[in-house]
Amino acid sequence: MDLYASIPKELKQSGAIKELQTLFLNLACGIKLLMFRRNIIDQVTVSHDQFILLLGFYSLTALVTSYVMTPNPIFGWFGLGYIGVELLGVLLVGFVLAKLCDEQGHLLRFLTAIYSILPFFYLLSIVVIPFLPDAYFEAGYMVYTLWILSVCFYVALQLLNGQKIKALLIVMLWVSVSYPLINVSLSFWHEDFDYSEALTAYNDDELSYVNQEQVYYNQYQLLNNALNAIEPGVKGITDLFFIGFGADSSQDVFMKEVINVQNVMNQNLGAAGRSIALINNLKTIDTTPLASSTNLKIALNHLGGKINPEEDIVLLYLTSHGSFDHELSVSMWPLELNDIGPNDVRAYLDDAGIQWRIILVSACYSGAFIDALKNETSLILTAAAADKASFGCSSENEFTYFGEALFKNVEGKSYQFIDGFNQAIEKIKQREISENLIPSNSQLFVGNLMREKLQSLEHDMVRYAPERFGSF
C-alpha cells in the first residue's frame, strides 16, 4: 500500500504551505545573520526539506535575476555547473566544521544557514556592486568582500561555540574552495548575437562558392604581400608597429573596427608602413590574410625581425566575441579555425622576441587576458572584466563601444596613451550607464617599465611628427 497516497490531499497541501512559510522565515533569519544579530542561528529551522527549498530558491533567484540583467538573453546550462561547484565547496566546509565541533547535525544546520544567506549576497553582487559610482567602486567592492568574510566567520563562530581559531580556519578553507569561482559569474544566460546578420548580406550561392582549399593556399601570398610591405624600425627612434586581428566573420563590426583602427594608427599615431590587418570576413577573404592563430603567429614573428627589440613597441589589437572560458572566437564560415586564448598570445609574443607590447582586447570576458599577459614591459587594456560582457557587436556599427571610445576622433602628434586609455574607460562607463547596461568594467594594466617607455614613444611622436604624420 502506498502510504503517501493514503494521506488526505488537504494535509498534503497544508504541509506544503507550512514548508513555504518556514522557507520565508529562514530567509528572514538569513537577513538577520547578514546584520550580525545574536542568537539567530538557533532560530533557523533545520531540515532536509528546508535545505532543498533554500537551494532551489537560490537557483531560482540566479535564474530570474541574471535573465533580467542580461541583454538579449539566451539560456545556457552553465549556471548549474557554478551552483554544483559552489555546493561541493559548501558541503566540504560544512563537513569540516561538523568534525571540528564533533556534531554531525551541524552539517545540515550549516547548509541551511548558508543557503538562507546566499540569495542576498548574489543579489548585491549583480544588482548593486557593478553600478557603484567609479569613485566608490573599489572601496565598495572591498567592503562587500570583507562583509562576506565577516558573515562567514560569524556563522562559523556561532556553530563552533565561540572558538575563534577554528572559525578562522573555516573561513580560510571557505576562501580556498571558492577560488575556482573567483572570475566566474553565476548566470544562466548569455547575451545573444545574431549570426544571421552576417549571412543575410550573402545569398546561398555566394556562401557555397567559398573554395576552402583555395582560401588556405592563398594565405601564403596574401600574408607575404602584407608582411613584405612592413618597414623596419629606425635606429634611435621609438617606432610603433601595429597588428589588427578581427577574428569573427559572423558580424561585420570586427572587420570594420580593424580597418578603422589601422587607419587611425597609420594616420594619427605614426604606424604608417608598419601595420598589418588580419581579418575574417567574406568581403575580404580574397584580399586580406585570415585572422587565424597561425597567421597571427607568423605575422608577429615577422614583426619581431623588423623591430629594434630594445626600442620599438608593437600594438596588438584583438577584436572578436569572447567566451566564458576566456578564449576569443576565431570564426570564418565555412572554414574551421582554432580559437585563441591568452596563453597563445603570450607564447606568440615571447617567441617573436617582442619585448614592448600594447595589447588591446575588445571582447566579452576579456579581463582574463591580463593575468596571462602582464609583465613590466606590457600595457594590457581589455573591453570587459573576466566575468562581464562588453557591447557594440552589431554589423551596422563601425566600432564596438570599446573601439569607438579608444580610436574615434583621435588626434596624433601629442597623443598620451595612458591618459587616452583612461579617458576611453570613462567614456565606456558613462555610455553603459546612460543605456542602462551592466557595466563591462574595462581593465587596464600598465607595467612600470612600460610607463617610462610610453614617454619615449610620445616624445618621438612629437619630435618626428613631419616624417610620421604625412597628413598634417
Question: Which CATH number is 354's domain given?
Answer: 3.40.50.1460
Q: Running DSSP on this structure, what letter comes out for residue 130?
A: G
**Same domain as 74, residue 22:** yes
Q: Distance (Å, rounded) from C-alpha 356 to C-alpha 377?
A: 5
**Same domain as 450, residue 354:** yes
333 domain-assigned: yes
199 domain-assigned: no
Q: Distance (Å, rounded) from C-alpha 354 to C-alpha 83?
A: 42
E-strand stretches of 38-193: 73-75, 189-191
**Same domain as 355, residue 224:** yes
End position of a domain, from candidates 137, 158, 190:
190
86 domain-assigned: yes
Residue 445 DSSP SS3? strand
**Same domain as 154, residue 59:** yes
**Same domain as 186, residue 219:** no
**Same domain as 248, residue 175:** no
Q: 58 is written with which cell numbers?
A: 537560490
**Same domain as 284, residue 241:** yes
End position of a domain, from candidates 160, 190, 220:
190
**Same domain as 256, residue 143:** no
Q: 190 is written with which cell numbers?
A: 548569455
Tally of domains within the chain: 2
337 domain-assigned: yes
Q: Distance (Å, rounded) from C-alpha 29 to C-alpha 26?
A: 5
Q: Distance (Å, rounded) from C-alpha 80 to C-alpha 188?
A: 8
**Same domain as 160, residue 308:** no
**Same domain as 178, residue 238:** no
Model-wide pTM > 0.85: no
Residue among 367, 61, 85 at smallest CA distance from 187: 61
195 domain-assigned: no
Q: Distance (Å, rounded) from C-alpha 327 to C-alpha 434?
A: 29
Q: Running DSSP on this structure, what letter comes out for residue 284?
A: T
Cβ 267 vs Cβ 340: under 8 Å: no
Residue among 236, 293, 271 at smallest CA distance from 415: 271
205 domain-assigned: no
**Same domain as 385, residue 265:** yes
Q: Running DSSP on this structure, what letter comes out for residue 368?
A: G
User: Radius of gyration over alpha carbons of the chain, in Å?
Assistant: 27
Kind and range of the H or E element at 189?
strand 189-191
Instruction: Point out which residues pair with 318 in neighbouring strands.
Output: 245, 361
Per-residue pLDDT of the chain (472 residues; tens, 9 = 90+): 454 455 555 555 677 888 899 999 999 999 999 999 988 888 999 999 999 999 999 999 999 998 888 777 788 787 888 899 999 999 999 999 999 888 778 899 999 999 999 999 999 888 887 777 766 777 888 898 899 999 999 999 999 988 999 999 999 998 998 887 876 778 887 665 554 444 454 444 445 567 777 888 888 889 888 998 899 988 888 899 999 999 888 888 999 999 999 999 988 888 889 999 999 998 888 899 999 999 999 999 999 999 999 999 999 999 998 877 788 889 888 888 889 999 999 999 999 999 999 999 999 889 989 998 999 999 999 999 988 888 888 777 889 999 999 988 776 656 888 999 999 999 999 988 888 888 888 999 999 999 999 988 888 887 776 566 544 3
| Residues constituting the chain | 472
202 domain-assigned: no
**Same domain as 461, residue 357:** yes
Q: Which domain holds residue 182?
A: 3-190
Q: 57 is written with which cell numbers?
A: 530558491
Residue among 193, 171, 174 at smallest CA distance from 182: 174
